[in-house]
Structure 1
Amino acid sequence: MSETISVWPSRLRALSPLVGAVAFVALWWWACALKLVDPVLLPTPGAVLGALWDGFVGGAMVHDFLVTVQRTLLSFAIALAIAVPCGIVLGSSKQLYGFVEFLIDFFRSTPASALFPLFLVLFGVGEKTKVAVAAFGAGLTILFNVAYGVMNARKTRQAAARVMGASRLRIMVDVTLLESLPQTFIGMRAGISFALIIVIVAEMFIGSVDGLGQRVLNAQMVFEMPTMYAAILAAGILGYGLNLVFLLIERRFVHWGGK
């Protein structure tokens, strides 16, 4: 009996994210029922879910969804391939990091949308610009977190490995990099979310004919509000799903984080 009772708290914790979602939908439905907002501007949850269902079952939104996923993953892969090695190098030398710290913080603090004209000049109107600007923004986030994780690896474990006769390369690979993985995964989760945000904004304003961002903009221009909200909901589900995937990977392979 006691074992059954002890299981319930864990089950309730697992279901706790649904409470916020249900409360949000209930508040949305309540606002629509009382017509607190013009029904043309705020359709009911049922209408939005219906538009989302029709978009995916009919295939109209599937293509845009997959295109956004492709652009996001490509830009994230480019950012990861460049930012992780650079972050390891910079984190290994505080003096070297000090030389470029201002540039990293400056561009990391600059809104990515403000860099659109620069990337348009460099890459022109097309796929390269969307991917490049998203990779740039995500890469800076990953770079900062990787460097920070390497710099703040526990000195006691490094010293213990050094006393045991491990080489500098062995200490870097078996101690420092493993110690930096929790912070690296934080950067990766933030980076994939940042890449998705930039891709969707770029799809709105940089000559796109497809993608969730373009679908949101087109639906808004012709006042197809259920479709617009459905595309926004699809983008939110995509972002949540990508973040959840990295969170599960982190819990599986970086279970020692914080220990």
Structure 2
Amino acid sequence: MSELSDTAAVPATAPPAGKSWAPPASNDAAPRRPLGDRLLPMVGPLVLFAIWDLVVRFGLIKPILLPSPADTLVALATGLAGGELLADFAVTVARTLQAFAIAAVVGMPLGVLLGSNERAYRSVEFLIDFFRSTPSSALIPLFLLIFGVSDINKIAIAAFGALLIVVFNSAYGVINARKQRVMAARVMGASRWRIFRDVLVWESLQPSFVGLRSAVSMALVIVIVAEMFIGSENGLGHAIIDAQQVLNVKTMYAAILAAGALGYVLNIAFLVLERRIVHWSGR
């Protein structure tokens, strides 16, 4: 029996004399994708610009209403290289990030607290769902009465719309935390505070990040709409509506592309951040 035990304790492949045994290297690295697969995301934009160019070339839409993609991209590059569009872009970014910061700082703790007490969440669930389902643009007159025509108005209404998304997702994450982990913590004698701090908060991070990603997109949408219709003198929304009113379609489409690019970059940034911070998600 002792011989069997000694044999089992020795690695199947003994290391050379003078070298310590080490586990084999992990082969977890993802295989490199073929070049064609990596270029697939470019197919959609290229097809869109090709169709756009053909529509303009064949005169299906008048150039006064739809400039060529080349002219639009030149206007975009010129504007972002130091023109007025760059200043409008920076203003919209600042307003969006301010609104998002308010929503995140207030919404995440509030959502986690509500989610940790299901009765408390159920008592306000209707209000959260009601205002979350109400188009934020419908609340613009109300915020105009409260805050007037100012930057505070635009930031406040965007923060309100984003806040509801963050609260809902954070609370949902806590309520739907893995019951096995909560029960395991209780069996090990963890207090309610330790369960809240070490289990519920961490379990809520993944849905909270989903909420944050949706919230920053919502904040951008509301800010641009507010810039269009609430007496703004700058911002991408102002640039779009101002160019449309004077039929400066190149600038209008350039500002639209800038807004779309901003939303895409913010979404990708939060996806990367989520993968870095909530890397254990799904395990």
- TM-score normalized by the length of structure 1: 0.94
Deviation for aligned residue 1:248: 0.2
Listed as ranges, the matches of 1:28-43 within 5 Å are 28-43=52-67
CA distance in 2, matches of 1:61, 1:217: 13
Pair 1:252-2:276 in alignment: yes
SS of 1:7 mapped into structure 2: coil
Q: Which amino acid aligns with 1:148?
A: Y
Deviation for aligned residue 1:7: 2.5
Pair 1:149-2:173 in alignment: yes
Q: Which amino acid aligns with 1:65?
A: F
Structure 1 gaps, min length 5:
1-5
Pair 1:224-2:243 in alignment: no
Aligned counterpart for 1:114 among listed residues 138, 158, 164? 138
Match of 2:197 in 1: 173
CA distance in 1, matches of 2:61, 2:148: 41
CA distance in 2, matches of 1:18, 1:252: 25
Larger Rg: 2
CA distance in 1, matches of 2:145, 2:90: 27
CA distance in 1, matches of 2:127, 2:224: 26
Select between 160-169 and 117-126 the one with higher mean Cα deviation.
Answer: 160-169
- The alignment's C-alpha RMSD in Å is 1.2
CA distance in 1, matches of 2:190, 2:41: 45
Match of 2:163 in 1: 139
Pair 1:7-2:32 in alignment: yes
CA distance in 2, matches of 1:172, 1:26: 54
CA distance in 2, matches of 1:98, 1:113: 27
* 1:113-137 Cα deviation digits (max 9, x unpaired): 1000101111111011000000000
CA distance in 1, matches of 2:153, 2:237: 15
Deviation for aligned residue 1:16: 2.6
Deviation for aligned residue 1:34: 2.0
* 1:196-253 Cα deviation digits (max 9, x unpaired): 0000000011110000000001100000101000000000000000111000011111
CA distance in 1, matches of 2:105, 2:137: 23
CA distance in 2, matches of 1:18, 1:256: 30
CA distance in 2, matches of 1:87, 1:7: 40
Match of 1:236 in 2: 260
* 1:58-94 Cα deviation digits (max 9, x unpaired): 4211110000000000000011111111101111111
SS of 1:49 mapped into structure 2: helix
Percent pairwise identity: 56
CA distance in 2, matches of 1:15, 1:108: 37
Match of 1:46 in 2: 70
Deviation for aligned residue 1:167: 2.0
Match of 2:113 in 1: 89
The total of aligned residue pairs comes to: 253
Aligned counterpart for 1:56 among listed residues 75, 80, 92? 80
Q: Which amino acid aligns with 1:24?
A: L
Evaluate the alpha carbon distance shift between residue 14 and residue 254 of structure 1 in structure 2; reply closer, same or farther with a 3 A threshold.
Answer: farther
Q: Which has the higher helix share?
A: 1
Structure 1 segments of 4+ aligned residues over 6 angstroms from their partners? none
